[in-house]
A and B are shown apart, each in its own frame.
Chain A
C-alpha cells in the first residue's frame, strides 16, 4: 500500500539526511573512524552523534531529539573533524568516509561554553520558579559546563507575554532557546504545523499564524511539543490549585479516575526507570492526597468497547444486511481528543466516519454524575470529577460545550501525569515506597482489554476480543488473546480477522473478513485519511487512530523526556500487566454487566447510552469554531 511512501511536509532543511550507500570498493556498510584517538567501526551514514552515543562517548546536545528530524541549529553538539576548518554539528554530520573526530578538544570546549553562555544570556527567568526545575536540558548543560556567571549578561525583564489562551498549552517565549523542537514536532512528527519561526535574526521568534494566541489557531492540543521542549517554554495548563481547593472543601465529593497509561509512566517522575508499573502505589497515594473515590478509567474503557464494538456491528449490519448506502465504513475510533480535533480541522467533511462514542474519560464522567450519584445519593452538583490523563488534549476535551449530557460537566478537571506526580510530591509522598491498594467500588474492576487502551493498537485489540466473541461465541483465535498484528510501533499497521461459525443472529457475517488498520501520531493519521479519500480504505471496517506517537503512553501529559525506547518500555509494562489480569475481555467485566442491567437498561448504543455516552463533532475546518 502506498501509505508509507507518502512524503511529509517538513522543509528539507529540517529533514534527516538520506545518505545513499555507495558501492565504493574500500567503503562498505561499515567504516572505521577514529574518535578521540581510539578506533571504532560504525555503520556507513550514521551521524557522529549517534556513533559516539552508541559507543558511550558523551556529546552534549540541545536541539537534537531522537524522534525528530535534524536541525543542526543550536550548535551545542559541535565536534572537531580533522581537516575541516570549522567545527561540525555532530547531530547532522553523516559519517561517509574515514574521519578523525575529537569531541572534547580545547576549541570544542570553548565553543560549547560560548554557545551556552549565549543561550543563557537570552533565557529569561529563574530556575526555581519554573515547572521544569530539575528536569531542564539547559539547566543540565549549564551544570555540566560549570556555568557560574553570565559571561555575556542576562535578560532581566520579560519580553513576551505568556500565552495562556489555550485549555491545554501555555507558551512562555521568554524561556525559548529556539531549538525548534516544537516546530519540528508540530510539522514533521505530527504534521499539524501551527508553530513556525517568524521574523529574522536576533528577533526570531517561534510563533503561530499571524502571532495569534494558540487558542485561535488550529492546534490539536496533543502536547507533543511540550514533551520535547528542552526548557519550560512550553508547558501544560495546570489545574492542580483548583483541585486542591476542591479536596479541601468538605462539601465537595472529589472523584478521580486514572487512565491506563498513567501507571506505566508515573514512576519516572520519581526517578524510576521507564517500564515500572505503579498501579497499587498510585491508588494509595491518591487516597492519601484526599480524593474521596479513586476509580480506574479502564472500567470506562471497557464501557467504550461495549459501545464502540456494538456501533461497529450495527454499521456492518446496516451496510451488509440492509444494504444501507449511507453507512460510513471504516469506523474510526474516537478516544483520542487530539485526533478528534485534528480530523475536525483537517478533514471536516469526513466526520461521519468517526464513532460517535465519547472517550472513556468523558463516558466515565457522565456515569459518575448520573448513575454513581444516584447510587451514592450525592447531589451531582457537589461531585467534582478529576481525570488523570497522559494527555493535554483531554483538558480541552472536558471543556467542550457538548460534554455535559447529565446537566453537569462530565469532567471538571483534566490533570496530566506530570501534574499528578507534582501533587503527590507536594503532599510529601514518595510514591515508589507506598503499599499497594485497589481501586474503589463500584467501578473497581476493569479488564485487561481496558488496560491496553494505553498503547497504540490497544483499542483495536480490545474491541476485537469482544466483537469476535459477540459474533462467534468463541475467543479470538490468537494465543493468550494477544492479537499480535495490533501490537508494535510501526506508524501504520493493518491486519484482518475472519469470522467463521458465527451465531445465528450474525449469519450475514459468516466467513466475513474484518479488516482493520491502526495508526498513531497525526502524521500517520493524515496518511490514513488521504488513503481513505483516495478510496484505498473501501474494504476496511475499523480504524484505530491515536494522536500521539506510541498511543497514550507517549501522550503529551506524560513524564519528560520521551523517546522510542521509553515508549516501548511503557507499552511493555501495560501488556505485561494485561497478561496477569483475571479478566481480559471488556464484556466479561462484571461491573460492565451490572451497569447495563441496572442503569443503561436498553443496552449498548441504546437510548440512555446515546444520551450520555455518545457525542457529536464540530466541522471546524481551517476556521476556529
Chain B
C-alpha cells in the first residue's frame, strides 16, 4: 500500500537519477548539499543529517560504515515499511549516496525482525543493483566501491537506538553504549559509522535529485521538507501520509477523517499525548517532534488503559541496563495499576511525575529518556479522568 495522499517528495517526478548526479559531485559537495537542505534525521531525534555526515566524512579512518536503521519498532509507525517496499530505489540508492558522501565501503540495513518477509525482496533488489553496476565494485564506472548487506533484528525495541543497534550488529546483546564517543567517530567495530533512518536516506536521495533549495522550500524554518506520518487509531482513513512539517494537529485530523477525537498520541509510545485543547500545535522539531507515529483516540477510549498499554510496553522493552529505565518504568506501571484500583494518592502521583522527570534526564539512552513522556502527558492532561475513573470504578464513590 503506497502513500495515501498526493505526494510532493515521493511521487514519480522525484525519482530522478540522484545516484548518477551524486557520483559526479565530490563527497564534500554531496555533504554540503545535504547540509544546505536543512534535512534533519527522520527517526525522531532530528539531528541535522548534513552535520552527521560531515563529522563522519572528516573522521580519519581507513574503514567507515553506513547503517540504515530499518528497525521500525515505535508503536504506531509503519512508514518505513512502505518506503522499503514501494519506494525501494530511493532508500537503497540513498544509502549508496550516504556511503559515497562519507566515503564508506560498506552499508548495512538493520531490518526489523518482523519485516523478515521483505528480506528476499530487498536482497533481489540489491542483486539487481549489483548487476546494473549501481552497487558493488566501481559503481557506475567510477572508482567508488560500496556494498550493502541486510541484517535482521530479533525484535528488541531498544535496537532502534543507534548505539544499541550497532552492538546488535556486532553480535552482542542490544544495549545502548555510553556517548560520547559518538558513532560518527567510534561506531560499528570502532570505525566511524553513520546511522540514519530509512526515510532520511530517501530524503537524501531527493535532496540530491531535486537540489537543496527545492527541498528546503517545504516545511518550517527549522524543520525542512515533507514528513511521512503513519496514522492509526480512531479515524476513517488510516495509513501513511506525506505532510509538510509545521502541519497543525487539527489539519492532520481533518485530513485523515478523525471524528469525536479525545486525544492524539504523537511520536508513538515514547511520544506525547495531545488533548483536544492543544490541537492547534504543529508537528515539527520546534513544537511536537515525531518519528512518524500518530495514534488517534476517540471519546470512547479509556486513557488509563491507553497509558497502561504504553507502560507495559516499556517495562518489557527497556534493555534493563540502566536503573532509571529498568525500574522506573516498572514503578510508573505500578502507579497506573494503583490508579486503576483507585489507590493512588495525589501525593504519590506527583511523586511518580517527578520520577518520570528524573528518568527523562538520567536514563542512559533515548528509550529511558522518552519512556515517561506518555505517563507525564496523559496524567497531566487527563488528570480528572484518570483519578476519578479509577476511584469510581473500584471503590464505589
* Residues of chain A at the chain B interface (Cβ within 8 Å): 11-13, 17-19, 70-76, 78, 85-87, 89, 92-94, 96, 107, 110-111, 114-115, 118-119, 121-122, 151-153, 177-178, 180, 196-197, 199-204
Contacts and interface: CB of A to CB of B under 8 A. Distances in A.
B320 interface: yes
Nearest to A120: B327
B317 A201 contact: yes
A230 to B, nearest CB: 13
A75 B363 contact: yes
A75 B173 contact: no
A87 B334 CA distance: 25
A118 B362 contact: no
B257 interface: no
B315 A114 contact: no
Contacts of B189: 12
Given A12-B167, A110-B354, A204-B320, A85 B326 contact: no
Contacts of A178: 320-321, 323, 326
A13 B176 contact: yes
B370 to A, nearest CB: 11
Contacts of A96: 180
Interface of B: 156, 163, 166-167, 170, 172-173, 175-178, 180-181, 186, 189-190, 314-324, 326-331, 334, 351, 354-355, 358, 360-364, 369
A12 B190 contact: yes
Given A12-B167, A197-B173, A114 B181 contact: no
Contact of B327 (A78, A94, A110, A121): A121
A29 to B, nearest CB: 18
B331 A152 contact: yes
A111 B180 contact: no
29 contacts: A11-B170, A11-B173, A12-B166, A12-B167, A12-B189, A13-B167, A13-B177, A17-B180, A72-B364, A73-B321, A74-B322, A75-B322, A96-B180, A114-B324, A114-B354, A115-B323, A115-B324, A119-B323, A121-B327, A122-B327, A177-B323, A178-B320, A200-B316, A201-B320, A201-B329, A202-B316, A202-B318, A202-B329, A203-B320
B317 A115 contact: no
Chief secondary structure at chain B's binding surface: helix
B330 A87 contact: no
Contact of A200 (B317, B331, B351): B317
A203 B176 CA distance: 17
B362 to A, nearest CB: 4
Contacts of A72: 178, 322, 364
B364 A75 contact: yes
Q: Find the residue from A13, A70, A93 having the highest chain B CB count within 10 A.
A: A13
A118 B358 CA distance: 11
Contacts of B163: 13
Contacts of A122: 327
Nearest to A119: B323
Q: Find the residue from B334, B355, B362 having the highest chain A CB count within 10 A.
A: B362
A197 B360 CA distance: 24
A111 B364 CA distance: 13
Contacts of A93: 178, 180
Contacts of A86: 360-363, 369
Nearest to A80: B361
Contacts of A92: 178
Given A17-B181, A114-B355, A201 B362 contact: no
B181 A118 contact: no
A245 to B, nearest CB: 42
B326 A201 contact: yes
A38 B267 CA distance: 41
Contacts of A152: 327, 331, 355
A156 to B, nearest CB: 14
Contacts of A110: 354, 358
